[in-house]
Structure 1
Amino acid sequence: MNGPQKAVTLNSVAVEAGVSRATASLVLRSSPLVSVSTRERVIAAMDKLGYIYNRGAANLRGQKTGTIGLVLCDIGSPFYSQLMLGIDEIIVEASIVAILVNSAENPERQLRQVRRLREHGVDGLIICPAVGTPEALLSEIANLRIPCVQVLRHVSQTGGDYVGPDYAEGTSLAVKHLIKHGRQNIAFLGGRAIHSAARERLDGFRKTLKRHKLRHDLIIPTNLENLADFGSLPDLMASSSPPDAFICYNDMVAQSLMGHLLSLGKMPGRDFGVIGADNLPQSATSFPPLTTIITDPVGVGRNAARLLLDRIENASPSSTRILVSGQLMVRQSCGGHAP
């Protein structure tokens, strides 16, 4: 064949299928008004002729692009991969595509990307705010007239839509489980209170220990990007009142801690209780298998996507908060068994 081929039109498909152009158009829009046999005939004609639906033009006619922006702070983390799976489950059914960008924990870069996504005409945003994001970001996004749902972290206690794990309740469950199995000197290891997710974890930790009249100030900040950073742990271990259990910021910190304890000749689950968070797949196969707080990033992603789609269709000035219930996956590392 010589020269470029002409694009197959919907009229051509209609002629091939023996239906009107209007009927072929209804098939493209998945209308229930078309019978199954007619639908199959039109689809067969599309396949035969190589018809490609110009969704972009159709969306422009409907003043929507069929895209959303997904702004994450660390796209290399396995936790965020699970979040994206949950989002994708919902938006794929709505024929929506996500444009993924990485803020790399930089608020200025994050704002630039939000504005660029608006230039690309996204219908809405799901955003995990970078560390240091000001509350003014919500006003900026509102001025751009983009529906937005915050996930995992929020920049305001009351403003904007938010979906995330119940970090405080999950941490509280972990503390109570350790206390039930005889642990009295429990430390929190990892991260710093620099965003809402960290603050809520620490809030659940402190409040639960206070209620049980136990020491609640054994908090060891670390650099989460360096899993070999154990902060003041060596000094605390050498003190007259060392911890007998640890709740870690996440599973990766907990697995690093267990390796460190084993290198010292200490057995997690016997000499120390260890609990992580996020229930990453490798936690079940670590040594010993890691007890972990289930934060359900897939469930968070599903709920965030559903809420955003509802906001896109039905704009509302109200703020909705959805917390996915915390649960505890009990394995050997905590030294206690599930009731």
Structure 2
Amino acid sequence: MSTGGSQKRVNLQSVAEEAGVSRATASLVLRESPLVSAETRKRVIAAMHKLGYIYNRGAANLRRQRTGTIGVVLCNIGSPFYSKLLIGIDEVFVDAGIVALLVNSAENTERQMRQIWRLREHGVDGLIICPAVGSDETLLSEIEKTGLPYVQVLRHVSPTAGDYVGPDYAGGTDLAVSHLVRHGRRKIAFLGGDRVHSAACERLEGFQRALRRHRLESDLIIPTDLDNLSDFGSLESLMASASPPDAAICYNDMVALSLMGRLLSEGELPGRDFAVIGADNLPQAATSFPTLTTIVTDPVGVGRNAARLLLDRITEPRASSMRILVSGQLMVRESCGGPLP
């Protein structure tokens, strides 16, 4: 609460006198109490700024046995998708007066656990975690040893254990298949299909379920290296075969945009000669040529829901675990042939 250097120490009583209120009222303003009027709050804050008063939030949190911080453990902080997730998390935490501490597991399970324990050492009140590839239910038991409330986000390591918030991956992929079928596409591939975590498995389950319902061939699942956008797996050899696919649903928009670039370089127009659908609705999808049809996974909405659920879990640690699926939609653009007439 000191302004530092040799300046006179400014205390809460000084702020109250400057604002013309009692010390108790000034304290209520600092604690963001709804009992204080907007006008009074404005006067107290103005007095704080004028006098250079700095609220010792750490001491206040210590009295409450909370730090006002949450650990966010992501597997790839360089991805624009995860940036959108963080926007949703931040919106909720800012309103709650909470600071998020972000760490990166880099898809490494050992590093992931080290980061979790370091966050615990820093006294975070809870965790939001997107499990790294290779995580299993051991991750949840290790988190429970820390005593921290947690919410899994985007991926989960168990279909039932622990709180989870994520997109309805299966439902979104089902929508994409059904749309292609209505446009006359009959041989649909899934590009980037590798069952490395729950999000990938759910996408493929939705894909295969929809193909079975429409009585289509269901074995065109093409694994690729998602970190290498020039890797199209066996798709190119299939395209050169006697019975080539006529459409592809891609694991994400980055894969889809790369595929469209390859098609254009070979003189084929996506949407006319070959249908392409991505996922995640990144900003580039609306500005590409042709514009990219994409499955909307709403990472901002997922982030908001995960943050709210974690705050609820901190307040009610014994409540039953919850699974929240954020339903998406299909953003239809030119790359799949456009909307139906």
State TM-score, norm by structure 2. 0.96
Which amino acid in structure 2 is aligned with residue 305 of structure 1? A
- Which residue, 14, 17, 26 being the options, matches 2:16? 14
| 1:233 and 2:249 aligned | no
Task: Check whether the contact 2:291–2:333 (CA below 8 A) recurs between aligned residues.
Answer: yes
Aligned-residue offset at 1:37: 4.1
Aligned partner of 1:54 in structure 2 is: 56
Instruction: Measure the CA separation in 2 of the matches of 1:39 and 1:325.
Output: 40
**Kept after mapping to 1: 8 A contact 2:313/2:319:** no
2:258 pairs, out of 248, 256, 259, with 256
Residues 191 and 224, structure 1, Cα contact 8 Å, conserved in 2: no
Alignment-derived partner of residue 306 in structure 1: 308
Note if contact 1:330-1:338 (Cα within 8 Å) is conserved in structure 2: no
3-state SS in 1 of match to 2:136? coil
Letter in 2 for 1:232: S
What residue in structure 2 maps to residue 86 of structure 1?
A: 88
**Hey, what's the Cα distance between the residues in 2 that align with 1:338 and 1:52?**
60
Q: Which amino acid aligns with 2:317?
A: A
Q: Which amino acid aligns with 1:319?
A: S
Number of aligned positions between the proteins:
338
For the 8 Å contact 1:184–1:244, the answer to whether it is kept is yes
Q: Quick one: distance in 2 between partners of 1:64 and 1:268? A: 53
The match for 2:142 among 140, 143, 159 is 140
- State the one-letter code of the partner of 2:159: Q
State the alpha-carbon separation in 2 of the partners of residues 160 and 255 from structure 1: 35
**Deviations for 1:290-322, whole angstroms, at most 9, x for unmatched residues?**
000000000000100110011111112522000
Structure 2 residue corresponding to 1:113, chosen from 87, 110, 115:
115
Deviates more, 1:291-300 or 1:236-245: 236-245
Q: Please, what is the CA RMSD of the aligned residues?
A: 1.4
Aligned position for 1:223: 225
* Other structure's SS at 2:232 match: coil
- 1:157 corresponds in structure 2 to 159
Compute the displacement of 1:191 (Å).
4.5
Deviations 1:109-135, CA, capped at 9 Å, x for gaps: 000000010111101110000000121
Deviation at residue 64 of structure 1 after TM alignment: 0.4
Q: Which amino acid aligns with 1:337?
A: P
Which of 265, 270, 273 lines up with 2:272 in the alignment? 270
Give, in whole Å, the separation in 2 of the partners of 1:140 and 1:3. Answer: 44
Question: Equivalents in 1 of 2:77, 2:25: separation in Å?
Answer: 43
Structure 2 CA distance for aligned equivalents of residues 23 and 213 of structure 1: 69
- Aligned pairs for 1:166-185 within 5 A: 166-185=168-187
Identity of paired residues, percent? Answer: 76
Deviation at residue 19 of structure 1 after TM alignment: 3.0
Unaligned runs of 5+ in 2: none
Secondary structure of 1:247 counterpart: strand
Whether contact under 8 Å (2:130, 2:156) holds in the other structure is yes
- Specify the alignment match of 2:77 in structure 1: 75
Partner of 1:140, secondary structure, is: helix
| C-alpha separation in 1, matches of 2:269 and 2:36 | 66
User: Which secondary structure does the structure 2 equivalent of 1:323 belong to?
Assistant: strand
Distance 1:141 1:219, change over 3 A: same
Q: Return the letter of the residue paired with 1:242.
A: P
Distance 2:187 2:42 in 1: 67
Q: Secondary structure at the match of 1:319?
A: coil
